[in-house]
Structure 1
């Protein structure tokens, strides 16, 4: 990973341990601060503090209004929607990051499960997004986003981190003085990773790459970024991973014993007996030993730093 490819990740400030919550405390998340922090550059965001609400502050909730949800303090019933919405609109317009980790259940930053109340009454439903998070997500629909609660799930954590690092690599390419051959090489390195998410979208991305020398540069970049990010937003399941592993195995010139061993390991992954890290590590080892450069250099085998150990869970 080059310096240019190092991800920039926006995060609710309280999750980094800063005392900006309503009670003057924080919600430090150790995965973010202890494990992920060495590999990303954080962009802390706290809409309440930027809106001048301070910390500590009165608690708030979303209430139904004539023109949409309102953000209302629980005790004094002050409507603070306008300053928070102003911060959200400005932040969403200026945001230049590879992912966003929001504070779960927050009336401003929650990405799901936020209650909407009747004015001064009981909840109407609990399926809403925070006002700030909603604006950011509407403005950047393909941006990788999660909250710290969902990142406790190993499958969701792996998927989010994979998308963040892929987003950063693409950003580094497109922000540079790239040529059509550079986009071709980038797409080739990501072939197996994209195939593991959505083969049809991978082919769509390839069609965009094929036009790189004939269409305006900005048009190609925008088209490729859209389909690339859309592909990675599709879940990579066990079946698609097995297909990719078998595809890579077919490109390695192994003797019958080693090939049979690799097939057995892939079958064990398919059966849910071993995590994905087992067959990927084995195939990467064989690719390095044979100097099978095309297989060895696939981002599928190293989509993020190995030290994060995100593929060690058993598939479900």
Structure 2
């Protein structure tokens, strides 16, 4: 059920989040969530765009100025200092030099690394009406639209954290598939493994995945694979809600209807309903499904990523 990856997953991270004192005031924003919990699964590769473009530590602060849709990064006290282009170029360099990255964790509210909701100022120094994205983060996401990217602050939300980790692992599994070579049979197996995971996230896009793979012998497999992975990552970017999870759980439960007793089927159905109503966490019906799978082995279900998309010791489904 769990992903079988050949090595730890490389994930980029804003350097201040690992405890390095690289912020403008020579402080850090060490995140134990990142270094201890997620660090057990990921190989965290640190980047500090502001240091990389030549700023010292400590340094005068910078901020976003102008149009929130395309702000400039200027010195807070010295507006003649314009770091917009250097920060954008550094994002290009990271993209080119680190194709191994399967995700990125950014520092929130930063004029360089903020993913969204970064304060923007007008030229006269007053706050603008909208917010923007840091220059490095915006270019990084533009150049890597499928790369799972999240802010450290948002990762404290259990749903967003579980979603980010799931997307990173799926991204890494796809990289492994590309390394081995994409063939029709491997592409179909990848889809079969991730079918219920996609079902839980976004029904409309999920329904488009299967038809993409119809009659692969008559299509360019590489082009189909690119379209498939783009759609899959777009699908997974929508965090699964209780309705989506319940739908996937019911479909999985349907595979056991001929081997479970009436009492066992009723118990499983009640637990799924309890989860849908918010009375139990997702781990409860998942655990019962895995128990039935242990007693009634099924090779197809045994390969389903949905039942264990990430290491159980992370406990990411205990709070959603």
Quick check: TM above 0.5? yes
Cα separation, partners in 2 of 1:19 and 1:41, compared to 1, 3 Å = same
Structure 1 residues without counterparts, runs of 5 or longer: none
1:265 Cα deviation after fit? 1.0
Indicate conservation of the 8 Å contact 1:284/1:295, yes or no: no
1:68 Cα deviation after fit? 4.5
Q: Report whether the alignment pairs 1:89 with 2:95.
A: no
Indicate conservation of the 8 Å contact 1:59/1:73, yes or no: yes
1:211 Cα deviation after fit? 4.0
TM-score of the superposed pair, with normalisation by structure 1: 0.93
1:275 Cα deviation after fit? 0.3
1:90 Cα deviation after fit? 2.5
The match for 1:115 among 113, 116, 119 is: 119
Cα separation, partners in 2 of 1:3 and 1:293, compared to 1, 3 Å = closer
1:119 Cα deviation after fit? 2.3
The 5 A counterparts of 1:142-291 are 142-252=146-256, 253-291=259-297
1:14 Cα deviation after fit? 0.9
Aligned to 2:137: 133
Aligned to 1:51: 53
Structure 2 residues without counterparts, runs of 5 or longer: none
Cα separation, partners in 2 of 1:201 and 1:92, compared to 1, 3 Å = same
> Which deviates further from its counterpart, 261-270 or 80-89?
80-89
Q: What is the RMSD computed on CA atoms of the aligned residues?
A: 1.9
Distance 1:23 1:113 in 2: 22
Distance 2:192 2:10 in 1: 24
> Which deviates further from its counterpart, 130-139 or 175-184?
175-184
Indicate conservation of the 8 Å contact 2:5/2:173, yes or no: no
Q: Report whether the alignment pairs 1:80 with 2:83.
A: yes
Indicate conservation of the 8 Å contact 1:21/1:55, yes or no: yes
1:104 Cα deviation after fit? 0.3
1:132 Cα deviation after fit? 0.7
Indicate conservation of the 8 Å contact 1:108/1:133, yes or no: yes
Indicate conservation of the 8 Å contact 1:287/1:293, yes or no: no
Alpha-carbon displacement from aligned partner over 1:124-155 (angstroms, at most 9, x marks no partner): 13421001111111222232111111111111
Between the two structures, name the one with larger relative contact order (CA 8 Å, sep ≥ 6).
2
The match for 2:72 among 51, 70, 73 is: 70
TM-score of the superposed pair, with normalisation by structure 2: 0.92
Indicate conservation of the 8 Å contact 1:5/1:171, yes or no: no
